[in-house]
Structure 1
């Protein structure tokens, strides 16, 4: 009986550690510097298992689910308004490899999928200030990253040296992190066990670049999104969203892209 109990305990432990943990963050963003009263708020997840973590937007999962069902059934007569409401400013995923420390970003420019590895270190200064945030005792830390000064509150009560977005490397999970200007903040709202981390099916080709080359492509898109997409279609990469659309739809799309590029003038990374 004793051997059976030990065996069952061992199996239970294996099952527990085979699971992953999901952390729900509320993300607040001021993406338009000319209208600082307009605060965009979305939910995002950080899934962690012993091998890796992945950070992604909640709306991304919902959109992918709707599109996945549409592909399976061959019927794309879904609610366009619903899809518009699920448009996200967190249209990227960030995967952190626990063994190598490599952070891989996958995101879109127009309808092209790109990925790059983050090559900038994140050096933290742990400060003496402490605070109780929710049920957790936290300590403050500071770092300068990508043109912003960031303040984070981490807890050693959750032994993951990780956090939302690209933030990691503190001796505990980051519960809250915000920049000094108050433009962006990430606040932990919920924690739960899950069977496995979220996976995403890639549609089309993935273009892998160095970070600097990715930033050049992104700058070209922001400068003239329409010309960028037309050049992309001319090169034969993927199925551009302007392909096979009538002139009116194309004009509406061009206007929307220009308007979005104009308003999205305060990115999370300034350098």
Structure 2
């Protein structure tokens, strides 16, 4: 009986340690450089296991769930609740994965129809201060770094057994509870944490293109000036899926001619680009 008890305890500990820990961060953003009074706030998840961590938008996983149910039901995009999808729009289109074994960080984001993925090639160099304070229930210590054209201040805790943080931040001797740039344009604040059974599977639409970070930046800049060249990549008819959705949403029964649809799509894309003129990474 004693041996069975030990085995049961060992299995319980093994199961407990195999679980993934989810940390929920409130992300506060000022994405429009011309209108800093417009503040966007949404939640993002940092899921951590022994092998890796994954940072992504809470709204994205909720949108994915709605889309998956719609497609499984055979209704496709047309059966989705558009108001519900509109309320789940996200300013965090990217995801960040950190490989604990190789100590590498991978960034993924969509440009046009495709997903682009690159390995982060700029290591974080932290200056750890002796200054401490308390944020919520955690005793935290201050650290500073320059990254992506911004000066960042982070507060990390050793109360939790993780050396990680939101976005690309990590490499400190503890979990980052808060990190903010010196202009208060972007802030990540830990709100709560709990355990989940496993990492979620995010929907991947389009191709995933592995590129160098510098190439990704070039493609991003090209998209801002000529978005339609990306929308038509690989499109035989020149009318892509996003355009067809736009036509249905216009209330004109999808009878617009391709030239008019291109113009509407281009205007909408450029407007989105203008509203996101203050990215988290400036260089």
Would the TM-score normalized by the shorter structure come out above 0.5?
yes
* Native 8 Å contact 1:47 1:198 kept in 2: no
* Native 8 Å contact 1:112 1:238 kept in 2: no
Question: C-alpha offsets along residues 199-236 of structure 1, whole Å, 9 cap, x if unaligned?
Answer: 22323321111111111111101123234424x25589
Distance change >3 Å, CA 22–CA 215, structure 1 → 2: same
1:171 aligns with 2:167: no
SS at match of 1:220: helix
Aligned positions of 1:96-175 closer than 5 A: 96-175=98-177
Any stretches of 5+ residues in structure 2 without a counterpart?
Answer: 248-253
Any stretches of 5+ residues in structure 1 without a counterpart?
Answer: none
Give 1:196 shift. Answer: 1.2
SS at match of 2:41: strand
TM superposition score normalised by structure 2: 0.90
* Native 8 Å contact 1:53 1:96 kept in 2: yes
What is aligned with 2:204? Answer: 202
* Native 8 Å contact 2:113 2:230 kept in 1: no
Distance change >3 Å, CA 237–CA 29, structure 1 → 2: farther
Distance change >3 Å, CA 250–CA 223, structure 1 → 2: closer
Distance in 1, matches of 2:237 and 2:116, equals 16
Distance in 1, matches of 2:5 and 2:272, equals 60
Please give the root-mean-square deviation of Cα atoms over the aligned residues, in Å.
2.0
Give 1:113 shift. Answer: 1.2
Count matched residues: 270
Which one of 257, 262, 266 corresponds to residue 274 of structure 2? 262
Aligned positions of 1:63-78 closer than 5 A: 63-75=63-75, 76-78=78-80
Moved more, 153-162 or 253-262: 253-262
* Native 8 Å contact 2:114 2:205 kept in 1: no
Give 1:165 shift. Answer: 0.3
TM superposition score normalised by structure 1: 0.94
